[in-house]
Amino acid sequence: MSKTLAIVGAGRVGRALGSALCERGWRIGAVVTRSRATARAAVRAIGGGKPQPNAWPELFAANVILFALPDRAIEGVAQKLAAVGANLRVRPRTSEKQAGKGRHMGLPLRGKIVLHTSGSLSHAVLEPLRVAGAAIGAMHPMQTFGLGARTRLDGVVFGLDGDARALRVARQIVRSLGGIPVNVKPQRKVIYHLSGAFAAPHLLAVLETGVRILMQAGYSRKQATHALCFMAQQNIANIERYGARRAWTGPLPRGDWGTVAKHIAALRHFPPEYKQAYVAIARLAARNLARSPRKMLRELGKVLGLRF
């Protein structure tokens, strides 16, 4: 298969994937965005491709088309691309009609692979393109794409779903990136995406809250950020090595309810969300990590003056 890939939408995800694939020998074709300026900027970031602001026909020159778009835009863009393809149909030659080959010869999407990168939507959102002759699929990297950061893709798990032919190509792409392809049932995509949305962004909120609390103890932001990120990295290493329950530390697993009570008292000096989050996370930890969740929840309830 020719390694030619076009990209529709080139924000953080599209640029990161395009750049990594370009480095690994994939030829980047059309890069379609809303304006010439954003298309040119995307091509510069990717290191290859041809900027094509809203120039849909150029997409058909590639055999793989990657939708790196916000979830809300995917269905509409799929419908638009299918419509453009329908308008570009070429009338089959008389000899092809006689041979029974004319039914599909005029479809520009015939034989193409179209993938999207959404984590919460299944491949079914691309159905108009399947009707137009393409094989469709989804290829979502379970990774964060920070502003201005070079995103690591080797070792990243990619959630895949789609047609058999699209899945084969998606696996080829993921493996060329050094990633790990894992199939996800289409009806489970929202749950799959929920897991990542629960863990990664909430971790940032928890760490930032910890940083702000530590700054109240006299640390600079730089010192507080280093201290808590260093500790969090050790926790992540421990959970990978030993599992969550064995890696769990702090006053809760020790049964140090006096310290928990002091924490609750100190949180009165912070915005109400701080205490609410502390309580919610403590309850969540008791539910998922304690050997006897009900017992720990009862003890926690005594400290909080609540009944669980």
* pLDDT at 147 (0 to 100): 72
Q: Answer yes or no: do 87 and 211 share one domain.
A: no
- Domain stops at, among 134, 156, 184: 184
Separation of alpha carbons 162 and 152, rounded Å: 25
The two three-digit tokens of residue 74, written as one number:
């995917």
Q: Answer yes or no: do 123 and 226 share one domain.
A: no
- Domain stops at, among 142, 161, 184: 184
Please check the confidence at residue 95 and state whether its pLDDT lies above 50: no
Separation of alpha carbons 180 and 194, rounded Å: 19
- The mean predicted confidence, pLDDT, of the chain is 90
* pLDDT at 149 (0 to 100): 61
Q: Answer yes or no: do 137 and 262 share one domain.
A: no
Please check the confidence at residue 91 and state whether its pLDDT lies above 90: no
State the residue range of the domain holding 168. 4-184
* Residue 65 Cα distances to 62, 181, 182, angstroms: 7, 18, 20
Please state the domain count of the chain.
Answer: 2
Q: How confident is the model at residue 104 (pLDDT cuts 50, 70, 90)?
A: very low
- Identify the CATH number of the domain in which residue 153 sits: 3.40.50.720
| pLDDT digit string, tens, across residues 242-279 | 999 999 999 999 999 999 999 999 999 999 999 999 99
Q: Answer yes or no: do 142 and 55 share one domain.
A: yes
Q: Answer yes or no: do 15 and 163 share one domain.
A: yes
Torsion of CA 274, 278, 279, 284, to 10 degrees: 140
